[in-house]
Amino acid sequence: MVVRSLILALTVILFSCSSNQADKSKAQKDSKVSKENDVATESITKSTMIYFEGGSFMMGSAKGTPQEQPVHEVTVKSFKIDKYPVTVGEFRRFIEATKYQTDADRFGDSGVFDFSTSGWALVPGANWQYPMGKNAPKSEDNYPVTHVSWNDATAYAAWAGKRLPTEAEWEFAARCGGKSNSKFSWGNELVQNGNYMANVWQGDDLKAQQGADGFALTSPVGSFPETSCGLTDMGGNVWNWCSDVYTLYPGNNTPFQYNPEAKVIRGGSFFFDQNGENSYSTSGRSSNTQETSLFNTGFRCAKDAK
């Protein structure tokens, strides 16, 4: 019997991060970043992956929430990571090829925030095709897939010959090979030259008017500028599942209850978060249980690089 709760969803506690940090620039060695196209045709360019040469970097933020601390040195091996979050169109190919049933479809509902009641709801029929439920429009193919649990994301990645990124890899990529100390993956400011750099929540509360960045809900992947290493949506739009069980960083002695089913999510989303802009910074972190699926959580894949 599976007991589901949206508590963690609510808890979407992200701890997030703060700015610049990383502060010690001793951090990184020579991590070279280069692009590499895994595919040639325009029709499937969403499969493009970005290569990162392995190296060491300072993970976390001294200015972020307690969960981002302490800043500590981490070394990752060379890897590739998806340029974009996995799209609805890509996920459809997986479903059609494997007849896989997502956790949301198995349960018959999934987590959607009900703006009329200002509360989370398990909406019948909400799934990867119908992000707001069956009575709302079907998602278009170029949007990031949502309502996928960690289990679903892991299954997709295995089918695609990939895997989920580790949390360290995700931050290493967000920091452009561990070299950037900017607050966000694109820089230090959300709005640059009058243009929003990501699809995020405007305002400090749930009632705030949305759309100044062009989108009230999710946005097609790649709608906002790439980072200097060619990644998109590394902040805002949808949270990205990572492979790791969520734990405190080494040396963090905050009281903490370890739950092997709580998996890391990174990057924040279009939706309100109690940590505000810290939720979509390079070092912001949160978690949800592995069977949880929500309207603001998706994923991207990674793979080892020789």
- 154 Cβ contact list (under 8 Å, min separation 6): 163, 164, 243
**Residue 101: both structure tokens together:** 């049933």
By CB under 5 A, tell whether 199 contacts Ca ion: yes
- 35 and 50 Cβ atoms separated by less than 8 Å: yes
Which residue's structure tokens are 């010690």? 24
DSSP code at position 56: E
What whole-number distance in Å separates Cα of residue 63 and Cα of residue 112? 31
Span of 30-38, 224-232, 247-255, 266-274 interacting with Ca ion by CB under 5 A: 266-274
Interacting residues with Ca ion between 211 and 230 (CB under 5 A): 213, 215
The nearest distance, CB 201 to Ca ion, in angstroms, is 6
DSSP for 112-178, written as a single string: EEETTTTEEEEEET-SSS-TT-TTSPPPPTTSBP-S--HHHHHHHHHHTT-BPPPHHHHHHHHTTTT
With binding defined as CB under 5 A, does residue 291 bind Ca ion?
no
Judged by CB under 5 A, the stretch of 86-94, 191-199, 257-265, 285-293 that binds Ca ion is 191-199
Min dist. Cβ of residue 202 to Ca ion (A): 6
Which residue in the set 128, 270, 271, 299 belongs to the binding site for Ca ion (CB under 5 A)? 270
Minimum CB–partner distance for residue 233 and Ca ion (Å): 12
Name the minimum Å distance from CB 221 to Ca ion: 14
Using the rule CB under 5 A, is 272 a contact of Ca ion? no
| C-alpha torsion sign, points 240, 246, 250, 252 | positive
Stretch of 54-62, 112-120, 199-207, 284-292 lying at the interface with Ca ion (CB under 5 A): 199-207
Binding mask 116-135 for Ca ion (x = CB under 5 A): --------------------
What is the phi/psi pair of residue 123, to 5°?
-90, 120
Least Å distance, CB 79 to Ca ion, is 30
Binding site residues, Ca ion, CB under 5 A: 199, 213, 215, 270
